[in-house]
Structure 1
Amino acid sequence: MAALMRAHDWERTSVGSPEAWPAALRVAVNLILASPESMFLAWGTDLTFFFNDAYRPILGPRLPRALGSSLPDVWPDAWEQVRPIVELALAGTASRYDDLPLTTARHGVDEQTWWSFSYSPVLDEDEEVCGFLCVVTETTQRVLSERALQAREKELLLITDTLPVLIAFIDRDLVYRFANRAYEDWFFRSPEEVVGLSVRDLLDEAGIAARRAAFEAALAGEPVRLELDWPHRDGRPRIADIRYLPRQADDGTVDGFYVFVLDVTDRKQAERNLREMNDILERRVAERTRDRNALWQLSSDIMLRCGFDGVIIAVNPAWNEVLGWSEEDLVGSSLFELIHPDDLAHTVEGASASADGQSFARFDNRYRHKNGEYRWISWSTRPDEGAINAVGRDFTDERAKAGALRAAEDALRQAQKMEAIGQLTGGVAHDFNNLLTVIKSSTDLLKRPDLQEERRLRYVGAISDTVDRAAKLTGQLLAFARRQALKPEVFELGRSLTSIGDMVGTLTGSRIDVDVRVPAAACFVDADPSQFDTAIVNMVINARDAMNGQGRLVIAMTEASDIPAVQAHPPVSGAFVAVSITDTGGGIAVADMDRIFEPFFTTKGVGHGTGLGLSQVIGFAKQSGGDVHVESDVGHGTTFTLYLPRVADPGASDAPDVEPEPLVDGHGTCVLVVEDNVDVGRFATQALAELGYATVWAANADEALAELATDAERFDVVFSDVVMPGMDGIDLGHEIRRLYHDLPVVLTSGYSHVLAKNGTYGFELLHKPYSVEQLSRILRKVATWRRRKSALGA
């Protein structure tokens, strides 16, 4: 720094040329240059900055421009913090500071630093203050280290205070230098009160005597562990596990020892209890061993211990009684030699599973008796220590009896099925004979000459009404058989139930109090709304008749997370909506509960119902993915609960399609009719022709595809039956979609298991029997759709 000062251009500073410097400045500069301490000098009113070699590292990046600059310019970031100290020194007062915090930016970023320094005024010949000297030492690292150490000590103290262990340090004079919070529990003194006390201040003479040898050993450098009875202050017994760990000073001498004391009273008591339990267990094991040996000898069930390879280790005497083999015959031989050949692979597989640790609650196979016959044995097994322990029971006779019982039950069920079929066919025949009687009588009367128009219309109306009744009866039969083609759609069940509730009073009469409970939250299902309405009406009518027209009827809708077990069917988890119909009638007899859903089964009198109402309900529920649960209390009433799968809210739906009017003469719509039944095909083509349709009749799918291949453009719509020999109507519809994607297809069917199971695949469906007006409406609907699509250029 002396060389740098000589080379510096001082003429540009307020102090001027060094030759003109006053004596006080020269003395001060020589003083800092000769000092081994970090020093700087601030001279004059400008506080011109001088510093020595020891100070240079403190400047960092400021070093090149520091010499000769003003102190505030050298340390602008710290100036406001040190200004009061500078002003004090310039006023003639010296000061000293230790670990003063200063925020500096020595490396371009603000950082917290700490410094120890002294400011001393420099006087000139006239005793006037002309500057000041600063001896400075950066203590940042020491302060940070001390703070880290203090933090670690606090953390250590926090940890030791949370431990349920008494922890302390005792010096060679047996004076406590550290104690944790546990001392409050042991001595009722805080750690602050313990530190500085002697061991003799806390322990009585007996306690000192019990520990004296341990103290001496620990101070001699030997770790010590001992257990002492150390009663609580309230007199309760306590056992302490005490450890003394010597601590060595830097010179290798022991300056004291750490103390660790743990209350092991509970552990010692647990050890005593464990020893007592072991003694009891040993006695019980001995007793059970005697009992097991007695059971082994006296049991009528056969017992076995064998290896996983099938080699027999031990058998009990019952083997001789059950299978004729003695212990000498079996021990050491292979168990697999006694197994029936058909059961051998199954048994070997079971032994392999046992080797993997599997136990069997029941394992059945056949064993050869000594007389050559085979007996059925049911085993309970458990693997243990490389072997299989098994207990077997001979159930050959029981198995034979069970087989005979199953055969008898199968025969009974078959007879019941035949009875049900006979009842079904008899009921169908009875109802259809009634319907045919009306139709036959009406047609005979229509043949009479000179029949008045009024009577003709009445007879035709009777025939039409009877056909509707026949269609309804057929629909009920198909619903029971789950063969109806449903038209499912997503609808809000509560709204539909509320609508039905408005008409229930009409069905039940004024003497039945009807309570319809629909929750505020909307519940949506994907089902046939018409069939749902019919099912509810059927159950309401059933409840009305059960109450003889007087009582209380509650219709309630709730959400359900499962379908409870129904007869032999297990519970089904999922999201469902439950509609319960509860009446106060006489209930259902227990003997009738299993038959209530059978077709034509009814407890009502003749002429009061067909017995198909509940059959329709169960058929609709099952086909829709749900079920029906029935609870009845004889004399108090019955609850029918219909479960349907719940679906998400589909959002706002489009406005419903307006039902089209039937087509009138002269429209020229061309229909390809596909029908294998000659009478139905002839009727359909004639009826359509009278309404102005052009028709081509194909007797099967192959003929229909041939007509389309000739000229598909001439047809506006294809009207096909579903059930036909060869390719059915659904397959034909798919083929037409593939070949002629914009040609509409309308299907018709009175029965199809394919439609019942999978739906209509997106095709329009017209149910048989259908009227000419219904046929015309649906054909107009699809034909109009095609013309609109063509007009839009689709």
Structure 2
Amino acid sequence: MATRIRAHDWAGGPLGPIKGWPQSLRTAVEIIVGSGHAMQLAWGAERIVLYNDAYAPMLGERHPVALGRPFRDAWPDVWEEIVPLVDKVFAGETVRFEDMPLVMTRHGYPEETWWNFSYSPVRDEMGAVAGLLNVTVDATPKIRAEHAEAALRDSEARLRDLADTLEQKVAARTAERDRMWDTSPDLMVEASLEGVYQRANPAWRSVLGYEPADVVGSTAADFTHPDDMKLMFGALATVQTDRLPSVNLRFRHRDGSYCWIQWVAAPSAGLIFAIGRDVTVAVDAAKHLRETEEALRQSQKMEAVGQLTGGLAHDFNNLLAGISGSLELMQTRLQQGRFNDVERYMAAAQGASKRAAALTHRLLAFSRRQTLDPRPTDANRLAVDMQEMIQRTVGPAITIEVVGASGVWPALVDPSQLENALLNLCINARDAMPDGGRITVETANKWLDERAARQQGMPEGQYLVLSVTDTGTGMPPEVIEHVFEPFFTTKPLGEGTGLGLSMIYGFAQQSGGQVRIYSEVGNGTTVSIYLPRYYGAVPDESEDALANPLPRSEQGETVLVVDDEPTVRMLVTDVLEDLGYTAIEAGDSVAGLKLLQSDTRIDLLVTDVGLPGGMNGRQMADAARVTRPNLKVLFITGYAENSAVGNGHLAPGMAVMSKPFAVDMLAARIRSLIEASRGMSTIRHSGQPTLDRP
């Protein structure tokens, strides 16, 4: 910890660089790092935390992030309980506690802990209290051992009481069993530990049609349905050493039919004692009920599908009306020579097109079939950049706070889809606060061990967590249980498209992560998106990359455009011609591959993923790279299984864009791929080894 303290970047924090620290702080730090006892120091108005090696294990997964953080950030889950003690110390008092209970999260889950500690004031050169020295001992192992010892003593006492009356109870139970043997309507048997029946009661006659004497000497295997044999032998293996709570087996009746028998059994004095009840009627009724419930669920699902498609059709019809109406008015005004109005109608058509594209992306995310463009992403930067937009969206009655964790890990994720998910979560939070409130957007690093990962339903490992917390109405458990289900909504019919949190859930799953909800009625809701940690740096993004005029073609580059939609081919070729490129068109994969396998110059392939002709765009591109290993490829797609373009793992020199796209974005992507191709060509012509790979 002394090494970590020296290496820590203090210059940007309240304490400033180490060389400027007062002697009182330097002395206190030397004391704690040199001590073998667990010690923590909280210094200054911000209560900045420093601690030694013996204290680090007590922090769990908070170490080493807690170093240099305010005391309340290092222990947020217990801060409300200890802040009065901290205030006393900074007022000049010393406080001590033994076996103080605190519920805290140190390893990814809440646990009950106990602590012995003393808080002492540390004074500066002027005699004023400048810090708090915490000398602490984790008493949790001791307290848990005491609890275990007390529980053991209690168990021993109960066992002694049980032993005193066991003989009487055994005698009473034996007498009761003998009475039940002749009168019980349930099957009863005594069997050897190997499962051979030694004795059977008269109920075998009325339930299964066998005389008890005929049952003796047989085994359960002689009666069990062939499909239940594995279950029966497993139950027999269990009951040889332990009690069998319950197992349902089909036993053959004397007339050849089968009855469902529910067995309970236990070992007793070197034998197995078992009781079986005929539950055929109940099992058949339960099966009929399950079929009815499934039919009802299917009916409800189809009704929800109808509501969803009706809502989508309504929204799309409104958007199409805006687009088609604007285009018609533009045509009319052009014929009339009234050019001043054209720009207004053009803006209206473009706005409706963008809203239609957003609706389509939400639908694809909901179905988990959108094409993602994953990139190393800084969640802190993304959340801060989104804050102003979120504030405008939710309105002035709601306060937006962004709390970014220090040293947050990057994630490999589609940033635009993560922005959409964050915005949608904030809109949901707004809807839960009709009278206003607060939305907190937080980032955190989470390391899930095997136990925590199992509880969360995720693989063990390191995750970036982006959370949105509101102070709204909250949700009961029965609503939380269904919020991610397709078509589930608590909103009235006709409000929204019915996609809800399914879109966010689908996006997180498709990105290799998970979504979790924590909510209490009346106490707000937290929705957390877990994304696997990306082990690498996040490149700096140039904000001016798209602001500068795009350079035109200077070397006569040729681009092949393959798409079965003529309008898209026209759009892309027009963009290419505006930039000075030569464009070649093909309407299917057969024609496209024929051109790619010819000696025609082609510097870039722009292709749809879903193509007619027997192969998709990715397969065509891979086939072309056999003879053109350095071919640059831009996939443009409106709908595709993500696997068709490599599940987010494209080969070098390949990129993907989702339809619809802005023309300037398309031009920029084409330009960047061409420039990359030109750079590789320069390397090859310079006599240096090529960096491209087939």
Cα distance in 1 for partners of 2:517, 2:231 equals: 45
Task: Choose from 305, 317, 320 the match for 1:436.
Answer: 320
Cα distance in 2 for partners of 1:749, 1:778 equals: 14
2:285 match: 401
Please give the secondary structure, in 2, of the residue aligned with 1:673. Answer: strand
Distance 1:513 1:316, change over 3 A: same
Deviation, 1:703, is 2.6
Task: Choose from 733, 741, 757 the match for 2:621.
Answer: 733
1:642 aligns with 2:528: yes
What CA deviation, in whole Å up to 9, does each residue of 1:403-455 have, x standing for no partner? 11111111111112111211121111111101111112122212322231111
Deviation, 1:277, is 9.6
Equivalences for 1:152-191 in 2 at 5 Å? none
Is contact 1:563-1:627 (8 Å) kept? no
Task: Choose from 676, 683, 686 the match for 1:785.
Answer: 676
Equivalences for 1:116-135 in 2 at 5 Å? none
Cα distance in 1 for partners of 2:520, 2:238 equals: 50
Cα distance in 2 for partners of 1:386, 1:732 equals: 72
Is contact 1:492-1:523 (8 Å) kept? yes
Letter in structure 1 aligned against 2:316: F
1:692 match: 580
Distance 1:426 1:778, change over 3 A: same
Deviation, 1:354, is 6.1
User: What is the count of residue pairs matched by the alignment?
Assistant: 517
Equivalences for 1:342-361 in 2 at 5 Å? 342-343=227-228, 345-346=229-230, 349-350=233-234, 353=237, 361=245
Distance 1:640 1:351, change over 3 A: closer
1:776 match: 667
2:374 match: 488
Cα distance in 2 for partners of 1:776, 1:684 equals: 9
1:411 aligns with 2:278: no
Is contact 2:440-2:468 (8 Å) kept? yes
2:637 match: 749
Distance 1:693 1:383, change over 3 A: farther
Cα distance in 2 for partners of 1:280, 1:352 equals: 30
Cα distance in 2 for partners of 1:532, 1:625 equals: 13
Please give the secondary structure, in 2, of the residue aligned with 1:467. Answer: helix
Consecutive unaligned residues in structure 2, runs of 5 or more: 1-158, 685-689
Equivalences for 1:389-788 in 2 at 5 Å? 389-448=273-332, 449-501=335-387, 503-548=389-434, 550-560=436-446, 571-572=457-458, 574=460, 575-588=462-475, 596=483, 610-612=497-499, 614-634=501-521, 636-647=522-533, 650-651=536-537, 653=539, 658-659=545-546, 661-664=549-552, 668-711=556-599, 714-725=601-612, 726-755=614-643, 758-762=647-651, 763-788=654-679
Cα distance in 1 for partners of 2:225, 2:353 equals: 65
Cα distance in 1 for partners of 2:235, 2:432 equals: 60
Deviation, 1:521, is 3.9
Is contact 2:191-2:271 (8 Å) kept? yes
Percent identity, please.
37
Please give the secondary structure, in 1, of the residue aligned with 2:274. Answer: strand
Cα distance in 2 for partners of 1:556, 1:675 equals: 42
Distance 1:730 1:487, change over 3 A: same
2:199 match: 314
Cα distance in 2 for partners of 1:613, 1:281 equals: 60
Distance 1:389 1:661, change over 3 A: farther
What CA deviation, in whole Å up to 9, does each residue of 1:624-662 have, x standing for no partner? 23333334444x253131231341552474665945854
Is contact 1:671-1:695 (8 Å) kept? yes
What CA deviation, in whole Å up to 9, does each residue of 1:726-764 have, x standing for no partner? 211122232333432211111110111234881252420
Letter in structure 2 aligned against 1:721: D
Mean Cα deviation higher: 424-433 or 483-492: 483-492
Cα distance in 2 for partners of 1:646, 1:524 equals: 9
Deviation, 1:609, is 5.1
Cα distance in 1 for partners of 2:534, 2:663 equals: 38
What CA deviation, in whole Å up to 9, does each residue of 1:592-611 have, x standing for no partner? 65665577876668997555
2:186 match: 301
1:252 match: none
Is contact 2:408-2:464 (8 Å) kept? no
1:327 match: 212
Equivalences for 1:219-298 in 2 at 5 Å? 282-298=167-183
Please give the secondary structure, in 1, of the residue aligned with 2:597. Answer: helix
Is contact 1:564-1:570 (8 Å) kept? no
Is contact 1:354-1:382 (8 Å) kept? no
Is contact 1:565-1:572 (8 Å) kept? no
What CA deviation, in whole Å up to 9, does each residue of 1:572-604 have, x standing for no partner? 463334433333334457776566557787666
Distance 1:299 1:555, change over 3 A: farther
What CA deviation, in whole Å up to 9, does each residue of 1:445-476 have, x standing for no partner? 12322231111222222222221111111111
Please give the secondary structure, in 2, of the residue aligned with 1:727. Answer: coil
Cα distance in 2 for partners of 1:697, 1:491 equals: 35
TM-score (norm: length of structure 1): 0.58
Distance 1:624 1:638, change over 3 A: farther
Is contact 2:190-2:272 (8 Å) kept? yes
Cα distance in 2 for partners of 1:738, 1:641 equals: 47
Cα distance in 1 for partners of 2:398, 2:168 equals: 73
Cα distance in 2 for partners of 1:563, 1:441 equals: 57
Is contact 2:487-2:498 (8 Å) kept? yes
Distance 1:738 1:289, change over 3 A: farther
Deviation, 1:401, is 0.9
Indicate the structure whose relative CO is greater, using CA pairs within 8 Å and at least 6 residues apart. Answer: 2
Cα distance in 2 for partners of 1:656, 1:276 equals: 78
Deviation, 1:768, is 0.8
Consecutive unaligned residues in structure 1, runs of 5 or more: 1-273
- Once superposed, what is the RMSD of the aligned Cα atoms? 3.9
Cα distance in 2 for partners of 1:552, 1:276 equals: 58
Letter in structure 1 aligned against 2:468: I
Distance 1:320 1:783, change over 3 A: same
Letter in structure 2 aligned against 1:401: A
Please give the secondary structure, in 2, of the residue aligned with 1:541. Answer: helix
Letter in structure 1 aligned against 2:205: N
Deviation, 1:560, is 4.1
Letter in structure 2 aligned against 1:761: L
Work out which of the two has the higher radius of gyration on C-alpha atoms and give 1 or 2.
1
Is contact 1:539-1:640 (8 Å) kept? no
Please give the secondary structure, in 2, of the residue aligned with 1:556. Answer: strand
